[in-house]
Amino acid sequence: MTTPAAAITHRLPLLITGITGVAGFNALHYFQNRYPGQVIGIRPHRTWRLVGDGIIPLDIEDVNGLGTLFHQYRFRSVLNCLGNCALKSCELDPNMAQQLNVASAAAILERSREHGSRLVHLSSDLVFSGIGPGNYTESDPMDPVTVYGKTMVEGEQLIAAAEQPAVVLRISLPMGPSFNRHAGAIDWIQSRFCNDRPATLYFDEVRSCTYVEDLNTIFERFLAGNETGLYHVGGPRAVMLYQIGQIVNRVGGYPPGLLKGCPRLAAGPMPPRAGNVSMCSDKLAALLGGNPFRPWPVEEELVPTDRHWHWHRPPERPGSFQDIVDRLYAFRPTLWASCG
Helices 104-115, 147-161: crossing angle, 10 deg rounding: 20
Residue 44 has pLDDT above 50, yes or no: yes
At residue 270, the pLDDT reads 83
Grade residue 36 by pLDDT with cuts at 50, 70 and 90.
very high
Q: Judge whether 42 and 260 are in contact, CB under 8 Å.
A: no
**Does residue 190 lie in a domain region?**
yes
Residue 3 in any domain: the answer is no
**Where is pLDDT greater, at 183 or 77?**
77
Region of poorest pLDDT, from 100-104, 139-143, 237-241, 264-268: 264-268
pLDDT tens column, 145-170 = 999 999 999 999 999 999 888 999 99
User: Per-residue pLDDT for 3 more than 70?
Assistant: no
HSE-up (13 A, CA, CB side) for residue 38: 16
Cβ pair 85, 21 in contact under 8 A: yes
Mean pLDDT on 73-90: 91
Between 111 and 180, residue with greater pLDDT = 111
Give 64's Cβ-side CA count (13 Å radius).
0
The yes-or-no verdict on residue 191 having pLDDT over 50 is yes
What is the CATH classification number for the domain harbouring 217? 3.40.50.720
Range 78-84 average pLDDT: 92
Number of domains in the chain: 1
In a domain, 1, yes or no: no
Give domain status of residue 4, yes or no. no
- In this structure, is residue 166 part of a structural domain? yes
Range with the lowest mean pLDDT among 75-89, 118-132, 252-266, 326-340? Answer: 326-340
- The per-residue pLDDT for 252 is 96
Strand order in the sheet with 166-171: 55-57, 39-43, 14-17, 77-80, 118-124, 166-171, 229-233
Does this model's pTM top 0.75? My answer is yes
**Is the per-residue pLDDT at 77 higher than 70?**
yes
Residue 22, in any domain of the structure: yes
Q: Which domain holds residue 204?
A: 9-331
Average pLDDT (108-132) is 96
**Domain contains 23:** yes
Does 18 fall in a domain?
Answer: yes
Residue 257 has pLDDT above 50, yes or no: yes
